[in-house]
Amino acid sequence: MNTSNRLHPLMIRALPNLIITAVPLAAFLAFAIQPLMGKQLLPIYGGTSATWLGTMLYFQLALLLGYAWAAWLVRQRTLVQVSATAVLALLAVLTFHLPSGQIDTTPSIITVVWRLAVSTLPAMALLFSTSPLMHGWLRQRGQEVPYYLYAISNAGSLAAVLLYPFVIEPGLRVPEQTFYWHGLLAIVAGLLALAGYIILRTSAETVDRPAPDGPAEALAPGLVAGWLGLSALTCIGMLGATYHLASEIGSNPVAWVGPFGAYLLSFTVTFSERWRRWMTKTTIVWLAISLAGYMVTKGFTAATVNAWTAWWLISLTASGSFLGNALLHSLRPAQRFERYYLILAAGGVLGGLLSVMVIPHLFVRPVEFIIASVALLTIGMLWLTGRREPSIAVITASVLLAPVIGFGLLQARLETANGARVRHIRDLYGHIMITLNPQSVVLSSDTTTHGSQLTADAAARRRPTLYYTESTGVGRVLERLQAERPAMRVGVIGLGAGILSAYARKGDTYDFWDIDPKTIRIAREYFTFVTESAGQINLIQRDGRQALAESRSDYDVLVLDAFTGDGIPSHLLTREALTFYLRRLAARDGLLLVNASTRYSKLFPVVEATARSLGHSTIDVVTDISANTNDRDWDPTHTEYLIVCRPERLKDISGWFPEEEDKGRVKHAVTTVQAPLINTQLIWSDDRNAALDTLDLGRFLFEP
């Protein structure tokens, strides 16, 4: 009895420390697992919309489930709360595992969600429910609602977003990440079990007495709608900004750091109990300046998002998030925290679903980021003036939106001032622009040009252009092999405008794989490379890696030309992927070519190290063409191709690219690596690949 009395004060003092440790750690794990699962699923399902939509939907639903579980649990008896948490913690630790590596040929959103749920649902429910549940336990101890825990929780999430691409992804393989993650999950489970034990031992309640009912605090429908709307708007703004960055540097964890980091930081700061009214006023000014800066540097145009534009983009995301979450903090209830958090989670889910499933069908251009910013600025102005009449809201929104829309339309008009017509097509895979000029058709996705065709006459239509002209790496390889082989089979991962079809001769077969259905439709409807080709052209809607893993066809050439923004999806460049490609090339002594013509990525070191680990060599060919001739290299551009071949062919193929041709009209820079040692850190595999291995982040952020 005396021992129990001595332990009682120690337990009371230990409880806050346990909670302050468990809450950010749980949030860290909840957000660190998401890119880890993405890495695991990409080789299984490929880069289809089902993969990333299913992953996003699962984690949003898991967040909502965790908050709903906590909202129900905190209103139960203390014994029920502690027992249920202990059981869930045990289930989480015992059932967590990675989805199997078996390739699924028929991926769907439902199958992705199901496999993730089977692998991680108890763990995710535990992690997402930790913060609101700890609010309830401290509230049960007689404290006021500890909203500062929400700030601490988001600080843990922010740490995961920052550390994953810069520390975890480059430094740890997937099995190692899984091992440490699972170990930290066990620690969280132990902390929650210990905190629950202390709650039971030190509670003034008996086990037969239910926890006190929540106070009858009135929650007006308008207030709840405000929580939901503000949460959804900030989420839409963050996702819209992420879309623009991913369109430049590829869809990888680094693209999320700026927008998502600013979004989470805003929660951490505004809920820290140090936020003041004057700070909200300052944020309104910050948002207005950021919106103006972004409209001037980017707006509705296809201007590249880098350097100043990228900083304005992040500033606009940050200011919108700070304002939205500052207003949410000002609208927090005095006691009904469990309902409040549940609605905020529902708002995030709503914003995510609208961003990926509804908005792409409403706006053919990705302008929702700007509209969400104007909406947040409007709400901020209404808060500042204290006016809530509908007419005032409409007038304020119109005054703010009119100059933004007007300036944006002027920008769009100036882009087509030369008589060009621009058609915008958008779906779940993103935004595509087709520019119809009097003499050409150009295909681009936001700021990256994927293909063009000259349309003056039939001869012009047959000319390969841009990255695919005759003197480029791919053009020269196809011409040399055609001289030796009367019929060829060529496979291309990534369709674009289908320009490589121009090289197909009668008797040749070209297989194109692309995951985006609208790209296949555009190649057939707006370009004639495919329809007028002399060879047999097969367009297949499929992830190229999966198709080649299951294929039994042998190829003379495989071309990897799939881009997400300015980057190639990592699962297409791993050791496992190259194994599939090289297997299909072996019988015909074929060549693998990787289009490495990117602005911010350096693919050669990674491809070279990975190929050498499989006993192959890589040639880096950079081509600059100063002018076209009557029969070659029409509409040329700077290109870089990586050619993977058997080591004994290295010297011969390198000789296909002299330093200068045609009196300097064509210049090649050829690079190979002769060092006996391989940089093993740069060998990409499904278990270990990192965006920072290839991405030149400094160039993206600081060079115009």
Q: Determine, yes or no, domain membership for 109.
A: yes
Do 182 and 255 sit in the same domain of this protein?
A: no
CATH number of residue 156's parent domain: 1.20.1250
Question: What is the residue type of 8?
Answer: H
Looking at residue 105, its pLDDT comes to 59
Question: Where residue 421 falls among pLDDT bands split at 50, 70, 90?
Answer: confident
Return d(Cα 282, Cα 300) in angstroms, integer: 27
Does 12 score more than 80 pLDDT? Answer: no
In which domain, by residue range, is 113 found? 1-211
User: What pLDDT, in 10s, does the model give residues 268-310?
Assistant: 999 998 999 999 999 999 999 999 999 999 988 888 888 889 9
Residue 391's pLDDT is what? 85
- pLDDT beyond 90 at 468: yes
- Which stretches of 335-438 are assigned E, i.e. beta strand? 421-427, 430-436
The CA distance from 248 to 699, in Å, is 12
Q: Is residue 304 domain-shared with residue 201, that is, in the same domain?
A: no
Looking at the domain assignment, is residue 4 inside a domain? Answer: yes
Q: Residue 562: inside a domain, yes or no?
A: yes
425 in any annotated domain = no
Residues 183 and 331 in one domain: no
Check whether residue 485 and residue 385 sit in a common domain.
Answer: no
Of 415, 431, 448, which residue constitutes the final position of a domain?
A: 415
In the predicted model, what is the mean pLDDT of residues 24-34?
A: 96
Quote the pLDDT of residue 6.
52
Give the length of the chain.
704
Same domain, 529 and 509: yes
pTM confidence score: 0.91
Instruction: Give the relative orientation of helices 575-585 and 604-612 as an angle to the nearest 10 degrees.
Output: 70
Q: Are residues 637 and 613 in the same domain?
A: yes
Question: 137 and 230: one domain?
Answer: no
Let me know whether 279 and 310 are in one domain: yes
CB 584 within 8 A of CB 554: yes
| Domain endpoint, select from 211, 243, 274 | 211
**Do 511 and 625 lie in a common domain?**
yes
Q: What is the pLDDT of residue 583?
A: 96
Residue 695's beta-bridge partner residues? Answer: 601
Residue 120 has pLDDT above 70, yes or no: yes
pLDDT > 90? residue 99: no
Residue-averaged pLDDT of the chain: 89
**From CA 577, how far away is CA 412, in angstroms rounded?**
41
Q: Does residue 431 lie in a domain region?
A: no
Q: Across residues 221-241, what is the average pLDDT? A: 94
**Contact (CB, 8 A) for 357 and 426:** no
- Flag whether pLDDT at 619 surpasses 90: yes
Interval 34-76: pLDDT, tens: 999 988 888 888 877 778 888 888 999 999 999 999 999 998 9
Is residue 703 very low, low, confident or very high in pLDDT (cuts 50, 70, 90)? confident
Structure tokens at 180: 């440490």
Residues 288 and 355 both lie in one domain: yes
**Structural contact between residues 365 and 300, judged by C-beta atoms closer than 8 angstroms:** yes
Q: Are 57 and 113 in contact (CB under 8 A)?
A: yes
pLDDT attached to residue 104: 57
Residue 475 lies in a domain: yes
174 shares its domain with 43: yes
Residue 163's nearest CA partner among 695, 600, 702, 692 is 692
In whole angstroms, what is the distance from residue 30 CA to residue 188 CA?
11
What is the pLDDT at residue 552?
93
pLDDT band at 471; cut points 50, 70, 90? very high
Residue 330 near residue 272, CB atoms below 8 Å: no
Asked, for residue 546, whether it belongs to a domain, the answer is yes
Whole-number Cα distances in Å, 228 to 318, 345, 415: 19, 8, 38
> What is the model's pLDDT at position 574?
95
Task: Count CA atoms closer than 13 A to 113's CA, side-chain side.
Answer: 14
Domains in the chain: how many in total? 3
pLDDT over 50 (residue 209): no
Instruction: Supply the pLDDT for residue 145.
Output: 81
Q: Say what percent of the chain tops pLDDT 70.
A: 95
Please report how the helices 109-140 and 337-353 are oriented relative to each other, as an axis angle in degrees rounded to 10. Answer: 160
| Residue 554 and residue 675 in one domain | yes
Q: What DSSP letter does each residue of 553-597 carry, written as one string?
A: ---SEEEE---BTTB--GGGSSHHHHHHHHHHHGGGT-EEEEE--
Residue 651 amino acid letter: K
Query: Measuring CA to CA, how many Å separate 670 from each of 106, 152, 617?
Result: 41, 52, 13
Of the two residues 6 and 310, the one the predictor is more confident about is: 310
Task: Say yes or no to pLDDT of 205 above 80.
Answer: no
What is the pLDDT, as a whole number, of residue 422?
A: 86
In the predicted model, what is the mean pLDDT of residues 337-355? 92
Average confidence (pLDDT) over 370-397: 89
417 pLDDT band, cuts 50/70/90, is low
CA distances from 266 to 91, 235, 327 (A): 33, 12, 11
pLDDT band at 111 (very low <50, low <70, confident <90, very high): confident
Q: DSSP alpha helices (H): ranges in 96-147?
A: 109-140
CB 279 within 8 A of CB 296: no
Helix (H, G, I), strand (E, B) or coil at 489: strand
pLDDT given for residue 412 in this prediction: 79
Least confident stretch, 179-193, 305-319, 354-368: 354-368
Tens-place pLDDT, residues 407-416: 888 887 777 7
- CATH at 623: 3.40.50.150
Domain ends where: 161, 181, 211?
Answer: 211
Residue 186 is assigned to a structural domain of this protein:
yes
